[in-house]
Amino acid sequence: MVLELEIALLSRKGGRARNEDACGHWTSESGCCWVVSDGAGGHGGGDVASRTAVASILRGFAGKPRVSPEVVQQLMAGANEAIVAEQKTRSELHDMRATGAVLLIDRAAVQAVWGHLGDTRIYLLRDGRVHFQTRDHSVMQSMVEAGFGDVASLRRHPGRNMLLYALGSREDFNPDITPAPVALQAGDVFLLCSDGFWDYVEEMDMLRTLRGAGNTEAWLAAMESILLGRATGNHDNYTAVGVRVGVAPEHPRHPVT
C-alpha cells in the first residue's frame, strides 16, 4: 500500500495588526508532522510564542521522525520548554503563551497520532461525518460539560477564549494525546485549525464544503470564503491545515525477461 497525502495550509492576520498564529509541516517517505499554534501575550509575545512552538516541534520531529503517542508528548514538552526559555530573554515576553495542535502520520504503518493543548482543534472527517474532534481546554468547554451552557456558547460566549492550559507554563502543561495510533482509511481528512477559524466555520460547513471540493486547497478556500462572509472587521487571526489521506495504486511488477 502506498499512502498519498494531499496537503493545504493557510494562515491570515484577519482584522488584526499582526498574525499571532503559526503553522508548518515536515514530511518524508516515512513520518510526517503538521502543527498549528495560536499565540497569546501582549507586546508581540503571541507571535513569538507560536513561532517558537512550531519551530521546536518541527525541528524535534525532523531530527527523529518517529510516530507514537510518546513522541507527541516529547515534542509538545519540548515546545513548552522552548517557550518558557524564551520568556526569560525579554521582560515583555514573560507572559506569552501559545496553543498547540500536532498531527503525526506514519506512512508505512498507515497510522496517525495527535495531541493538543488549548483551543486549537484537530478534526478527523471520515465517511461524511466528524469521526473525531478534540476537546477545548477552555473555561467555556468545562462549563458546557457541567451543564452551564450549550455547544453554541463555545462560539458565541464573550468568555470563550479563556484557556485552562497552554504552552509556556510549567504548572499547567497537560496536553491531550491519543493513547494509541489510529488506523487510517483512504478518504480520511484531517483539519487542524485555530479558534479564529472554527469560530466562524462550523462542523456542518466543514463537511458540506468537503463534499464539493475537488482537492484540499479548494476545500480550505471554500471554508475561508464562509469565514470572511461571517466575520466582523476586527476578527481574529485564523489558520487552517488540511490533510487528505489517499492510497495510490501500486505499480505492477513485470518479470525480468
What is the per-residue pLDDT across 194-206, written as a single tens digit (0 to 9) for each? 999 999 999 999 9
What is the per-residue pLDDT across 123-182, written as a single tens digit (0 to 9) for each? 999 999 999 999 998 877 767 767 776 676 677 766 677 788 899 988 878 899 999 999
Percent of the chain whose pLDDT exceeds 90: 77
pTM, entire model = 0.92
**What sign does the dihedral 51-54-60-65 (CA atoms) show?**
negative
Q: How many Cα atoms sit within 13 Å of 166 on the Cβ side? A: 24
Q: 92 or 208, which is more confident?
A: 208
Mean pLDDT for all residues in the chain = 91
pLDDT given for residue 22 in this prediction: 98
CATH architecture of 2-248: 4-Layer Sandwich (3.60)
Q: 251 or 30, which is more confident?
A: 30
